[in-house]
Amino acid sequence: MSANTGTTPIGVVTQPYKNESRPLAVHVRASLERYFDELNGQAPSELYDLVLSEIEQPLLEVVMERTRGNISKAATFLGLNRATLRKKLQKYRINN
């Protein structure tokens, strides 16, 4: 919890993941470090799009599950308009 507001900062897991309470960014960074290690010095290509798609698809899947397929509610959770969310769901072939 934040010392000043009494709220949980964005990105902090409130229920520990594998007995840890760490920001999502720490997990993303660790994954990127492993990715670069596995490249063995080779240059990555289209890394930005790769990372976004690797994060965006499970994000959409979980939000759609949590909202029971409710596009309006999911769009509100994500801060997207419904048309944009529908396009993203089509892109990743996620059925609502």
pTM: 0.69
Could you write out the DSSP letters of every residue in 5-24?
Answer: TSSPPTTB-SS-BTTB--BH
Residue type, 3: A
What confidence tens digit (pLDDT) does each residue in 38-74 have? 999 999 999 999 999 999 999 999 999 999 999 999 9
Asked if residue 86 and residue 65 are part of one domain, the reply reads: yes
Print burial letters for 45-58: b (CB count within 10 Å at least 16), e (below 16). eeeeeeeeeeeebe
Asked if residue 51 and residue 38 are part of one domain, the reply reads: no
Asked if residue 8 and residue 53 are part of one domain, the reply reads: no
- Domain containing residue 16: 1-44
Asked if residue 52 and residue 91 are part of one domain, the reply reads: yes
> Cα–Cα distance between 20 and 3 in angstroms, integer?
20
Asked if residue 40 and residue 14 are part of one domain, the reply reads: yes
Asked if residue 9 and residue 37 are part of one domain, the reply reads: yes
